[in-house]
Structures are given as C-alpha cells and as structure tokens.
Amino acid sequence: MADLHTINVAQATNDSAIEKITTKIFYWTRLLLMTTVWVSAGLFGLYILAFYAAALYEGNLERWNEILPGLYDKTTQRATMGIGLHFAMGGIILILGSIQLIDAIRIKYLTFHRWVGRIYVTASILVAIGGLIFIIAKGTIGGTVMNIGFGLYGILMLVAAVETYRHARAGNIDTHRAWALRLYALAIGSWLYRMDYGFWFLLADKAGHNNTFTGAFDYVMAFFFYIPNLLVAEIFIRSQGKRKTSPWLNIGFTLILLSMIGFLLLGTYYFTKLYWGPAIIEWLL
C-alpha cells in the first residue's frame, strides 16, 4: 500500500509539472501571437491612413479605385462619407487596439489606458456605423451574400464596442476584458481579410474568386475574416479563467497558435514589402 501511495504521489507530481510547463508554453505562445498581430495590424493601420485616409484628406477619392475599383462614385455621396469614416477610424483602431491589451500599460498607466480606450471604443463604433451606412446606401460589390456577411460584421463590432464600454463603466472588469478581446478580434478582421486573400491568390491561383466577388471563395470570405477570430478570442478568454486546463489541450492550442504565427509572419513580410511599406514611406516623405 505504501508503494502504491508513493507511485500515486509521484504521478501527481509529474502531472503537475507537465501542466505547469504546458501552461507556461501556451502563455508565451499567446504573447508571441499578440505581438505578431500588433506589429502586423499596426503596419496595416498605417497603410490605411497613408492610402485611404490621406486620399480623403487630399480630396483625391478617385485614388481609392486604384485598389478597389468602383469603391468611389460621385453619385453616391452618402456611401462615400460612410466608407471614408470607416477607413479613417479603421486605421486608428488597428494602431490603438493592441496597446489596450498590454498588461504593463493597463496596470501601471490606468488613466492612459482609460483615455485610449475611450478613443478606441468610439473609433470602433464609428467604423461599424460607417461600414453599415455604405452597405445600406450602396451595397457591397459582392451582392447579397457579402452584404449579409459584412453587415453582420458591422453589427457585431457595434455590439462588442458598446459592451466593452458598458462593462468598463459598471466596473465588471473580467467581463469588460472579455468583450474588449472580442472587439479586438473583430477590429483586426479587415487586416486578416487582405492577408487571407493574398495567401489564397498565391496558393490557389484565385480559384473561387472573380472580379465581382461572387465566387465560392468570395462567399466563404464574407464570413471567414471574422468568425475564426472570435473563436480564437474565446480560446484566450477561456484560458485566462480560474479553472485548470488539460496539458493536452494546452499543447493543442499552442500548436494552433504557432501555425497562425507562422502564417501571419510570412504574410506580413510580403504585404509590407509589396504594398504597405511603399505606401507608408511615400506618405511619410
């Protein structure tokens, strides 16, 4: 009996050590993913401001059509105002969003965190409203399916922004952080939309895509650029809870996140080299 007890204690100690190791690895993997997303989304945010918002400021809206044909139309001023608001605020939330997730800033500089949070939430609400105005006034190039997908995206972002602010004001910190993470997952959707298309064009030679965005792949992408993000956000939220997580679950989540990091690093390199970098440099100079 004594030997059996010793074996059980040793097994429990071993399981505890494995759990601690896998939990720590998962923690650092999450941190690496957040850093990768921050850098990449921040670069894309600067690109949005450098290209779309700058064109709006300069009054050269025809420039939008160089990247997205038919986006600007003189006959639909309301739609133009909506999408202009969407682009301007979109660049802001991509740059500010990751700052809000940094524990050191949130804990040490709480006042700064709160003021940046107010700007971030306000910009997120305006992004959603601007996009919805465009969809209602003009509709997306992809028709009904894209209208539904993008419209749902806008509604979810609006809800997440309001809930993030509401729970912060109520002092429900854990719930506030959960909604803030969901809002961030939605905020980076426009960035991932470009990344996904870039990789698909490279790997599948534009299969399922056409110029009117009514192909099979286009229909999938009308929803895919934000729904997986929300699922990943839920993984983060669950992993930060008080309940212990299985070591095998930690390993599985870690492998998923590592594959995402590799995907994002490769995409960021090529997009920055070919598109984002040149536009940002031109804007700054």
Residue 149 pLDDT > 90: yes
In a domain, 4, yes or no: no
Q: What's the count of helices (H) and strands (E) in the chain, helices before strands? A: 12, 0
- Name the most confidently modeled range: 17-21, 52-56, 93-97, 110-114: 110-114
Average pLDDT value over all residues in the chain: 83
What tokens does 174 get?
A: 């854990």
Overall domain count for the chain: 1
- Residue 63's pLDDT is what? 78
Nearest to 112 by CA among 136, 96, 128, 126: 96
Lowest mean pLDDT: which of 12-16, 32-36, 76-80, 188-192?
Answer: 12-16
Domain that holds residue 132: 45-284
Calpha distance 93→96 (Å, rounded): 5
Q: Does any domain span residue 106?
A: yes
Compute the distance between CA of residue 132 and CA of residue 68 in angstroms, rounded to an integer: 18
C-alpha dihedral (234, 276, 125, 177), degrees to nearest 10 = 30
pLDDT of residue 1: 52
CB atoms within 10 A of CB 239: 16
**Domain assignment present for 14:** no
Bigger pLDDT: 38 vs 138: 138
Question: Quick one: pLDDT at residue 14?
Answer: 56
Residue 162: the pLDDT is 96
Query: Over the stretch 41-80, which tens digit does the pLDDT of each residue have?
Result: 888 888 888 887 777 777 777 777 777 666 777 777 788 7
Residue 4 has pLDDT above 70, yes or no: no
Query: Per-residue pLDDT averaged across 100-125, rounded?
Result: 87
pLDDT above 90 (res 92): no
Helix axes 110-137, 173-187, angle to 10 degrees: 50
* Residue at 182 is within a domain: yes
Query: Running DSSP on this structure, what letter comes out for residue 64?
Result: G
Q: What percent of the chain has pLDDT over 70?
A: 90
Give me the count of residues in the chain.
Answer: 285
DSSP 149-180: HHHHHHHHHHHHHHHHHHHHHHT-HHHHHHHH
R_g of the chain, CA atoms, integer Å: 22
Residues 6+ apart with CB under 8 A from 101: 34, 38, 180, 181, 184
CA distance 94 to 124: 10
- Residues near 45 by beta carbon (within 8 Å), at least 6 away in sequence: 90, 91, 92, 93, 94, 95, 191
pLDDT of residue 225: 93
Pick the range with the lowest mean pLDDT from 54-68, 121-135, 148-162.
54-68
**Helix, strand, coil tally for the chain in percent (to 5):** 85, 0, 15
Q: What is the pLDDT of residue 245?
A: 62
Question: Does some domain include residue 230?
Answer: yes
Are the beta carbons of 189 and 153 closer than 8 angstroms?
yes
| Mean of pLDDT values over 127-142 | 92
| pLDDT interval class at 136 (50, 70, 90) | very high
Please, is 235 exposed, middle or buried when counting C-beta atoms within 10 Å of its C-beta (0-12, 13-18, 19+)? middle
Q: Does 90 score more than 90 pLDDT?
A: no
Residue 167 has a pLDDT of 95
The verdict on residue 222 lying in a domain is yes
278, two tokens: 């040149």
1 part of a folded domain: no
Decide which of 188 and 238 is more confident. 188
Residue whose C-alpha is closest to residue 193's, from 234, 222, 232, 154:
222
* Three-class secondary structure of residue 246 per DSSP: coil
